[in-house]
Amino acid sequence: MKLLIKGGRIINPALNMDIAGDILITDGCIAEIGQKIDGAGAEIFDATGYIVAPGLVDMHVHLREPGLEAKEDIYSGTRAAAAGGFTTIACMPNTKPVVDSSIAVSGIIQRAQNEGVVRVRAIGALSKGQEGKELAEIGDMVAAGAVALSDDGHYVSSARLFQAGLLYANMFDKVVISHAEEESLVEDGHMHEGAISAMLGMRSRPAVAEDIAVMRDVMLAEYTGARLHIAHVSSANAVEFIRQAKKRGVKVTAEATPHHLTLTDEAVIGFDTATKVNPPLRSADHVQALIQGLNDGTIDAIATDHAPHAAEEKDMEYIYAPSGFAGLETSVGVILTSLYHTGQCTLPQILEKMTIGPARILGGEAGVLQPGAAADITLIDPDREWVVDETTFYTKGKKTPFSGQKLKGKAVAVFVAGELIMKNGEVLK
Amino acid sequence: MAKDSTGQDILELRSMPVETMESILATAKEMKNIVLRDIKKLPTLRGRSIINLFFEPSTRTRTSFELAGKYLGADVVNITTSASSVVKGESLRDTLLTVEAMGVDVIVMRHSAEGAAHFAAKAVQPIIVNAGDGAHEHPTQGLLDMFTIREKKGTIAGQKIVIIGDITHSRVARSDIWGLKKLGADVHLCGPATLMPRDIGELGVTVHARVEEALEGADVVNVLRIQKERQQKGLFPSAREYARIFGVNDARLKLAKPDVLILHPGPMNRGLEIAFDVAYSEQSVIQEQVTNGVAVRMSILFQALMGGKKIEAVD
Ligand SMILES: [Zn+2]
């Protein structure tokens, strides 16, 4: 079985490749990449006008299964991923119950094999029940396939436990992902602290809560020599601390979300609960600092923090609505519209953060196009204009702050192991 | 969902056009004449129904709205749902839909959540009048403060107006800031740093740490109620200390203009944020604010229901 993806612009950041050319796939793997491949006997997929990229990787997704299937499940979540252009996603363990055991990790992996259309990597909890009190059975979870450890959704307030988690995970060469926010400073806050929160009278979450938490975690990573990843960085100082730490050789990486890279707290005016997210949408100076961090390599990955909630949960007063919204299906469009088409980032830069960047953090194979690798490939039309209509989303939790926005750029086809699973936004499986 | 052609929600002063505020204030003047006469009844809103939907108890504001509606001939019903009996967040839409199904024209709503009035305005067809949403806004209180200041001072433009107290948690302060600034006032804020939003200065007000500095040459002082619960949350150390450092007393008021006006949204903690002799001094218009509150709310209900229309001669 041969397939030739013909005539696209191949952007392969892991190998610094940016060429016009073809990719030949045989038996689910990449056989050849070149400027002109003779695809005799192969089925042809015409990629003229498209970017041909490694399958996109999203290292921060909430699939909500087990226990919270009304918000999302592996079936719907992986289809949302495919629709958005992703071939590999990593799911966070803050489910009900929490994914904090090898059985739970195997369960996710098994379910994903049965129900999923894209590759799913499981992230295990750092502490039992994500309670921040005792270490979870990290070794067992890693043996079962966990690719990282995180109490995402919560900051590990005990520095001692967090240090233990870093040391312990590091024995297995796994990264600890921190949701960095000093909780005593954000207690019951609903938006970024700034002029807009002052205006709306809403209890708020100051950026300094993130700064302090990132600083502590970075210092513990430096002290232990272990690998640390900061999830959804949103504050300017946090970017700076990470930048300085990297310069000192600390093994710290970081991700930013499409919404933190493009929206500000002004979106909260009007109290649309689709704008409620944690960490909150911050002011323009923070957004600029994030883009700067993306450009200079401080931020390694763009991750959606896809966090769907059932419609009725978001349909209430702002302060009672849960934080988070769907991100998988808008990610490419939002990033290309706001960062590429405005000239703030190049396509290779962006694609690096959405492929090899996160893939390296998680370890394992993904994010690179090369002979012998699985043919996980995403085709993107950078100029396709479309309007966000959440009623067409595959995700169950359809709220998005980008609703109704006109975007430019869209994933138009996705291959997983050489199989076409998404075309023109439609998931084929 | 579009409201019917003439009516309009009254949600906040921040986005309210100046012309709307002016029209409410002008009509309130005529309404005050009604409040002060023996027979206080107009047929203007006859056949219209108003529900006071209060998720937080407030006898003062609720009664003020109730009388305002009744003086205008409307049918007024009160629903007070104590916060504890409502499961947080779950039932607001249901409650609103129920009220809507009863065929009301106006829902006057008080709720502890910022933005609750905006939520309601989007959720149902009846006109929403915000009677206070969390720490966001209390537009009718703002308008009555504006009405009172203009009545006594003749104008708002150019006046130095000082708001003292817990700004962070005050919806009154926010409505006052927007309303007064739009009409040209010079707005100053003062209070403990722990009760002052960090970036409030960006709204175009001057923030003072010392009350003496704030009061210097003030034309109007609006003293906010201090909730003693804030002390338990560590936002100020004691009532005694608050009164000593921020309390508005006679000695401090000497720094203000001799004809300074004292406002307070009530109910007062005398001896805490305001000294007894100040509360009952000649300069205090706190009682009159209550009367004006009814007149302004009559005007607001009229504006909400009849939007833009001129009130027919009321005498
Ligand atoms: Zn998180």
What is the DSSP track for A86-147? EEEEEE-S-SSS---SHHHHHHHHHHHHHH-SSEEEEEE-SBGGG-SSSB--HHHHHHHT--
* Alpha-helical segments (H) within chain B: 18-36, 59-71, 92-101, 116-123, 139-153, 171-182, 211-215, 229-232, 239-246, 250-253, 276-279, 286-306
- The minimum CA-CA distance between B134 and chain A, rounded to whole Å, is 7
Q: Is the bond preceding residue A66 a cis peptide, omega within 30 degrees?
A: yes
Run of H or E including B163: strand B160-164
For the segment B199-218, what is each residue's pLDDT rounded down to a tens digit? 999 999 999 999 999 999 99
Mean pLDDT of chain B: 92
CA A357 → CA A85, A340, A344, A351, B163, distances in Å? Answer: 16, 18, 18, 9, 52
Residues of chain B that touch chain A, judged by Cβ-Cβ distance less than 8 Å: 14, 88-90, 92-93, 111, 113-116, 118-119, 134-137, 168-171, 174, 197-200, 202-203
Q: What share of chain B is helix, strand, coil (3-state, %, to 5)?
A: 40, 15, 40
Q: Does A318 contact B113 at a Cβ distance shorter than 8 Å?
A: yes
* Cα distance between residue B55 and residue A299, in whole Å: 45
Rounded CA Rg of chain A: 20
Closest CA to A179 of A158, A205, A210: A210
Per DSSP, which regions of A182-289 are E strands? 191-192, 204-205, 228-230, 252-256
Whether the predicted interface score ipTM is above 0.90: yes
Strands A17-26 and A2-12: antiparallel
DSSP 3-state of B178: helix
For the segment B45-86, what is each residue's pLDDT rounded down to a tens digit? 999 999 999 999 899 999 999 999 999 999 999 998 865 555
Residue A63 is labelled as binding a ligand: yes
Q: Does B202 contact A195 at a Cβ distance shorter than 8 Å?
A: yes
Domain ranges of chain B: 18-137+291-306, 139-290
What's the CATH superfamily of B139-290?
A: Aspartate/ornithine carbamoyltransferase (3.40.50.1370)
CA A305 → CA A91, A186, A332, B145, B272, distances in Å? Answer: 9, 19, 14, 46, 48
Q: Which two tokens stand for residue B189?
A: 């804020």
Residues of B with CB below 8 A from A193's CB? 197-199
Neighbour count for residue A302 (Cβ, 10 Å):
31
Domains observed in chain A:
2-52+374-427 (2.30.40.10), 55-362 (3.20.20.140)
Q: Which two tokens stand for residue A349?
A: 């830069």
Say which residues have a Cβ less than 8 Å from residue B311's Cβ, sequence separation at least 6: B27, B30, B44, B302
Per DSSP, which regions of B248-287 are E strands? 261-263
Higher confidence at residue B91 or residue A35? A35
Inter-chain contacts counted by CB atoms under 8 A, chains A and B: 74
Q: Which two tokens stand for residue A20?
A: 């016009």
B18-137+291-306: CATH topology: Rossmann fold (3.40.50)
Q: Is the predicted pLDDT of residue B241 greater than 50, yes or no?
A: yes
Per run of 10 residues, the mean pLDDT along chain A (length 429 residues) is: 95 97 97 93 96 98 94 97 98 97 98 97 98 98 98 97 98 98 94 98 98 98 98 98 98 98 98 98 98 98 97 92 97 98 98 98 95 98 98 97 98 98 96
Residues of B with CB below 8 A from A202's CB? 114-115, 134-136
For the segment B140-171, what is each residue's pLDDT rounded down to a tens digit? 999 999 999 999 999 999 999 999 999 999 99
Q: What is the pLDDT of residue B310?
A: 60
Q: Does A193 contact B199 at a Cβ distance shorter than 8 Å?
A: yes
Run of H or E including A169: helix A159-171
CA B143 → CA A298, B77, B146, B156, B184, distances in Å? Answer: 50, 23, 5, 12, 14
Q: What do you get for the CA distance between the two ends of chain B, in Å? A: 37
CB B69 within 8 A of CB B61: no
* Cα distance between residue A344 and residue A348, in whole Å: 12
Q: Does B197 contact A197 at a Cβ distance shorter than 8 Å?
A: yes
